[in-house]
Structure formats: structure tokens, C-alpha cells
Amino acid sequence: MSDGLFDGVLAAGPVAERVSGAAWLQAMLDFEGALALASADAGVIPAPAAAAIVRCCRADDYDVTAIGARAVDIGNPAGPLVRALTARVEPEAAAYVHLGATSQDVSDTAAMLVTARAFDVLDGELRSCAAILAGLADEYADTVMAGRSLLQQAPPVTFGLTAAGWLGGIAAARTRLDRIRRDRLAVQFGGAVGTLAALGDSGIPVLGGIARRLGLAEPVLPWHTERSRIAEVAGVLGQTCGAVAKIARDLTLLAQTEVAEVYEQGSAGTGGSSTMPHKRNPVAAVLAAGAAGQAPGLVAALLGASAHEYQRAAGAWHAEWRPLSELLRTTGSAVCWLRTSLERLRVDPDRMRANLDLTGGLLLAENVAIGLVSASRAAVSRQEASDIVADCCRRALADGGDLIDLLAGDAVIGKYLGRTRLAELLDPAHYLGSAGAFLRRALEEWEDRS
């Protein structure tokens, strides 16, 4: 699925290995081994035959490329794998290989196993990101910075609250990943048309045995053409990439030369440019955004393949294999690069404060208006106060005057607010509302989930 050229960037982290061709092949063999053992438990096949089959279920004993090449004969790799497995087991056990199953049972269960194993390491990466974000939220709880709306400075926030917001997206993705891992990654076992007719009355006991042995959920019935499980996997991976992309976008914006409120501290040479050696690019955040940006198209491909006709579809389940692997891989890469970016992240509180002061207090206009209404005991209405303060702000912008002088010199404002009170109202640290409380709630939720 990859020629290796872009793997360092787009297949970073531990998830990539879990979705390789070898990983898929091992998952298919794991199904065959679990099927044999579960069939023996149910009295369908002899126990020695099951043991003989399991001994031959090691991916290292098979040629992934050769099996893939022979997949064109039947339209999927399960067929040639079953033939190769049958040829490898002891003759007296050969008749019991793959008994009662169909190719889609193998490939769908392998997809669930590959996904489960990728989720396990992905959760570890996400947990690392969340722990760093929780640390940032706590450390910078009182570090005031400009809030930004439509890319323009707005009333102040704290960097701690910003980090807590990032944490919320990662924590939500972890919660949903965990639910899907537990409840929705299920064995596929239905035979030719979802009846398990070849096993008589033993079909459901064998199904339950396979699920227990593989650590997957036991479905109520086969889901050959009911693809909500795949859709949910696609959705949560898209959600995860969305959370990563939001953080990565914020970090790249905050690291702009003109903003410079954060930067990545990498090793020597990290963040440079092939032609502009002066640059300090937030490379890991850039790569996180790049990997996450591939997710929407892959999610759409999986959702688009969800219409499966009759009891077994012609081509729709085949259409899922590559985008599922790529979506798992690119999500893993995105999260890996986000973790790297957060590990490298350095915060500049002084620059945050300097950027706040660039406006000369203009972004506190709302606070002054509210203070005027309160000081006048509503003799000045909310709208009137806003208009008066807005006029002072316009004059400060047009003439370059000092905002506090213009406010103090206004007849209405000066009547109710002295310079000392105006200075308090223009201090960003005094207009943070419930920022601290929200941050504490976010950290408490993270601790509870942890």
C-alpha cells in the first residue's frame, strides 16, 4: 500500500505497523485459528485437528506478496490464504480448515482485528497527547493571551484554557474510540449467506467461541451487508483527525512570525527550510495537519461503500480494505506528529502579553461598557454604553490617541468611571470570567477519565 517514499511523514508512529500487509495476513490467520479451536470446543472438529491448524497460523510462514498476487483468482486474499494454510497443515487436519466460513468472514474479521490492534496503540498515543495538554492547561492557567475571533483579537483568554479546549477534543475522541473498541468491533461469521448452514446447530456456539478467543464482540447476527460498524470506525477516526487538525492549525498560527506566542524546540536542524535557514517552522504541527487532512476523503470513501446488496455484495466490501488501512495509518501518523509537536512545544507568556498590549486596551471595550452600565446603576443603558465606548475606540484608532484618555475625557464615562477604575477595566487579567472554572472542570474530567 506504500512505496516508502512518504512513510516517514505520512506513516509515522506505531499504528502503521499494525495495518501492514503482514498485520492483515496475521489477522486472517488468527481468525482461522480461532475458528478451528472454537469448532473443536463445540464438537464440530477433532481437537488434534484444531491444534494442527493453529500451529500453521503464523504469518511469517507465508509470502504476503504471493498471496496478494493470487487474490485475483477469487477476488480476495482469503481464498489463496486458505489454500496455502490447507496445504501446510497435516493431511488428517486439512479437511477441517475454514470449515463453515466464507472469504468475507475472514476479511471482515481481519478488518476488525486490525482495527482493534491499531486502536490499542492509537489510544496510547492519544493518552500521551492528552497528558501533555493537561499539563499545559495547569501550568499556564493564569497566562493571559488574546482570544481570537475571525482571526482578529477579541477579549482575553488564558493559554491554560486554550490547552484545556484542545484537551477536550482529544479526550472526546478517546472516549468514543474506547466505546467502539469494546462494543462495535465484532467477529464476522455467517458462512455463504449469513445462516451458517454448514455447521447445523453448532453455528452460534462456534461464533461465540471465535469472539471470545479473538477478544472481539459477538454480534447478534452476521453483518455481511450491514456496514454500520465500518461507518462508526470511519466516523471516530475522522473525529480524531478533526481534533488533531484543530490543534495543529492553532499551533501553526500561534507560531507565525507576527504572532510568535509558541514555537517548537526541536533538535538541530529541525524546523529549517531548504532555502530559508532563518525560519523556525513548527514542522511536527505541520505534518500533523497534513496527515489529518487526508481523513475526510477516506471517511467519505468508506461511507460511500456502505450500500451492500442482498446477502453478500459484489465489490462493496472489497472497496473498504484500502481506505480503512489508509485511514488508520493517516490517523496514527497525525496523532504521532501531534504528540511530537506537543513534546517540542515552548510557550512565550511575555509575547502573549505584548500582543495583548498592542491594541492599547481596545479589546477590553466590552468590559468598559459593562462597567459603565454597572457604575451608573443602569442610568446608562447597555446599548448606549456600547455606543459611547465604541466611539472612543474609533477615535483612538483614527487618531492614535490613548484610549484611557479618551474614555476618561468623555462626559458620560467620566461622570461614572475614574481613571483608576478605567485602568482596572482595561486590564486583561480582570476580564477572564469563568476561564479558571472552565479549566478546572476540564482537568477534573480528564482525571476522572484517566
From the list 184, 229, 312, 339, the catalytic residue is 312
Catalytic residue among 273, 374, 381, 434: 273
Helix then strand count (H, E) for the chain reads 21, 4
**Helices in 56-102 by DSSP H: which ranges?**
64-70, 78-88, 91-94
Question: Could you give the angle at the alpha carbon of 182 between the alpha carbons of 326 and 18, nearest 5°?
Answer: 30
Separation of alpha carbons 83 and 73, rounded Å: 12
For residue 315, the tally of other CB atoms under 10 A from its CB is: 10
SS3 45: coil
Active site residue 312: yes
DSSP string, 133-165: HHHHHHHTTT-EEEEEETTEEEEEEEHHHHHHH
Count CB atoms within 10 A of the CB of residue 300.
13
The residues that bridge with 262 in the sheet, in sequence order, are 347
The residue type at 253: L
Are the C-beta atoms of 111 and 324 separated by less than 8 Å? Answer: yes
309 phi and psi, to 5 degrees? -85, 150
Checking phi first, is residue 148 left (phi over 0); if not, alpha (psi -120 to 50) or beta?
beta
Contact 159, 436 (CB under 8 A): no
Please give the DSSP secondary-structure letter assigned to residue 249: H
Catalytic residues: 273, 312
